Amino acid sequence: MPSTFFGLNIASSGLSAYQVALNTTANNIANVQTTGYSRQQSNRVASDALLVHQQYGAVGTGVTTVSVKQIRNQYYDTKYWYNQSSVGLYETKLSYLQQIENYFIDDSSSKGFTTILNTMFNSLDTLKNNASDVNTRQQFIGSAQNLATYFNSVSEGLTDIQKGTNDEIKSTVQNINAIAEKIAVLNKQINVIEIQGGYANELRDQRALLIDELSEIVPTEVSEVPITDTNHPDEPTGANYYTVKIGGQVLVDTYNYETLECKARDYKVNQTDAAGLYDIKWSKTGNTFNAGGSSMSGTLKALFDIRDGNNGENFSGLAKVLNSTEVQITNPSITSIVGVSMPEEGILTINGREYAYEGFTFEQDADGNITSYTFNMKRALTAEEQARVDGRTASVGTSIDAMGIPYYMSQMNQFLRSFATEFNNILKKGVDLDGNSTSGYAFFTGTDTVTGEEFSFDGKDANGNTVNGSGSDTYYKLTAANICVNSMIVKDPTKLATTVDINGKGGVDAYDLVEELATLKSGKVLYRGGTADGFLKCMIADISVDTQQSEIFSKNYQNVASAIDTQRMSISGVDEDEEAMDLIKFQNAYNLSSKMISVMAEIYDRLILETGV
């Protein structure tokens, strides 16, 4: 039989339980605007009944608060994390694509390619009226310099963007490492608390917030499995295994975590790449973390797409070993010198292995198409390596299906090489104002970054031998970064050829070459099946498609994220109205328990004071 004061114990349990409920509600209200906070709920059950030796058998003993737990839905968390990587991918790409797009703007606010090209050809047209006038010649040369300067500045701007993405890749990797460390520390703190029977709500919120951040950077998978007693497998210990994977590889394994590191490349992948671009490796194993792979997503993937994207136009072909130091590549993907984008020194990837080369030559057919390349290997290949290489697919860099900095740089180089080749070939047929041949020098040339000398494009190497290759003076050397007007012509405008014969009809004022040059603007196919004045349209078309696609997908995934987050917050978020109702509900319950104690006090008072003998 329960004691005389048993009712007080029951009422007291109610006071305690609803005090906890009120405190929990107060905590929810206090954190209504706290980022990452999940609504908490006190869970109550009826206390164990007390057996009594009466006909009714057992009596209730009140209420017990068994836990105070956060309210979260793993399904919506997983969906949110999966979607966030797409949000990070397209938001980041859109930001950088808009920066690239700015360099190709041509309107009243910014003079671009079309305006500069038109000015140049207008000056060329003026030159016809007075071909022997030095000032008129200088005006045309100045407009040609403006065209070269335009490409120099665009190249410099795109290189700055590439360097910027490279720096951001490094800081993003450092952020991933910091997040991994924090998660591992939180895992230990959570398990320490929960092994003792508590529930680490606030720490779990902090961990979930870190996963939110990580999932926007890289695709993230999370797994939490209870740790059971080895002697009693059905009994959980309160601790959990908590695993985080990025890109399918383990980053955090409960208390242990892996780190990534950025390693500067020894060789460029593309001819115009900035020096020191990073690859990402796992610190412990040294294995590559392929953040730019086709199966990846997130901010890190976007940075690699912008920095390394080549639209799938990297060099590839079939390898044939000529000897231990020479590997020939047949059936090449790049068959025109204007499209050659490999660095002079780089890495050939053959059969999954990397082999450094220190230059290459190429062979052309009668039509000028490149039929094969011969790469000079940096070290002699062993017999085993030769057998492994021969007949295999070889490539420089990887195929990245994105239009990034390398793609736009390559497109500018292709246009300039085609345009400069035609322009120079026309002028080399002529003579200057003194009647001297201009066949020995080019009008549009480039400057060697090492020697500072200007190219003549005579196809000769440093030893004076005529050879087609990376080490010879060919149009492969010409890029948007180094194109310029020949300094000799800039200093002495009389060196500009306007006619093939100053002694013929028209004399020094003859302009037959000028008329031929004028056809290069819109009368000759030079680039992607179009004329010179169509270059900007091609560039704008490329960048606009990518920008619009990124903008559309960014908005779509943001809308999806908003919808998922709304569903997620409807479960785990703090609702002010709901908390206000709980406040009243728990207050009333607390007051009733207090009233019960008051009633029981009166009963015991009468029992003790008025029924005593």
User: What length is written for the chain?
Assistant: 613
**pLDDT, tens digit (0-9, with 9 covering 90-100), for 28-37:** 999 999 999 9
Task: Look at residues 453, 443, 456, 449 and name the one whose alpha carbon lies nearest to residue 490.
Answer: 443
Listed in sequence order, the residues at least 6 apart from 568 whose beta carbon sits closer than 8 Å to its beta carbon are 73, 76, 77, 80
pLDDT for 412 equals 95
Q: What per-residue confidence (pLDDT) applies to 573? A: 92
pLDDT the model gives residue 442: 95
pLDDT tens readout for residues 196-225 = 988 999 999 999 999 999 999 999 999 999
Q: How confident is the model at residue 450 (pLDDT cuts 50, 70, 90)?
A: confident
Contact 424, 444 (CB under 8 A): yes
Rounded Cα distance between 404 and 312, Å, is 11
Q: What is the pLDDT of residue 223?
A: 95
pLDDT in tens, 282-334: 999 999 999 998 889 999 999 999 999 999 999 999 999 999 999 999 999 99
Looking at residues 407-435, what average pLDDT do you find? Answer: 94
HSE-CB at 110 with a 13 A cutoff on CA atoms is 10
9: pLDDT strictly greater than 90: no
Q: What is the rounded average pLDDT for all residues in the chain?
A: 92
Q: How many CB atoms lie within 10 A of CB 67?
A: 14
Rg (CA), the chain: 38
SS3 453: coil
Which tens digits make up the pLDDT trace of 87-145? 999 999 999 999 999 999 888 777 889 999 999 999 999 998 899 999 999 999 999 99
Note the pLDDT tens digit of each residue in 491-519.
999 999 999 988 877 788 889 999 999 99
- Secondary structure (DSSP) of 491-550: H-GGGS--BS-TTSTTGGG--HHHHHHHHHHHSS--BTTB-GGGHHHHHHHHHHHHHHHH
**Is the Cβ–Cβ distance between 279 and 287 less than 8 Å?**
no
The answer to whether 201 and 38 have CB atoms below 8 angstroms apart is yes
Residue 306 has a CB neighbour count (10 Å cut-off) of 28
Angle of helix 113-129 relative to helix 512-522, nearest 10 degrees, comes to 160
Give residues with Cβ within 8 angstroms of 563, minimum separation 6.
Answer: none
What pLDDT was estimated at residue 379? 95
- Per-residue pLDDT, averaged over 561-570, amounts to 93
Closest CA relative to residue 277, chosen from 404, 415, 176? 404
- Residue 277's Cβ-count burial label (10 Å; 0-12, 13-18, 19+) is buried
pLDDT in tens, 567-590: 999 999 999 999 999 999 999 999
* pLDDT value of residue 4: 64
Cα–Cα distance for residue pair 390/380, rounded to 1 Å = 14
Give the pLDDT band of residue 612 (cuts 50, 70, 90): low
- Higher-pLDDT residue of 54 and 122 is 122
| Mean pLDDT, residues 380-389 taken together | 94
Q: Sign of dihedral through CA atoms 247, 249, 252, 257?
A: negative
The span from the CA of 395 to the CA of 408, in Å, is 20
- Closest of 534, 531, 523, 517 to residue 125, by C-alpha: 517
| Residue 230: Cβ within 10 Å count | 7
Chain-centroid distance of CA 99 in Å reads 14
- pLDDT value at 54 more than 80: no
Single pTM value for the model: 0.91
Mean pLDDT of 34-42: 93
Residue 3 is predicted with a pLDDT of 67
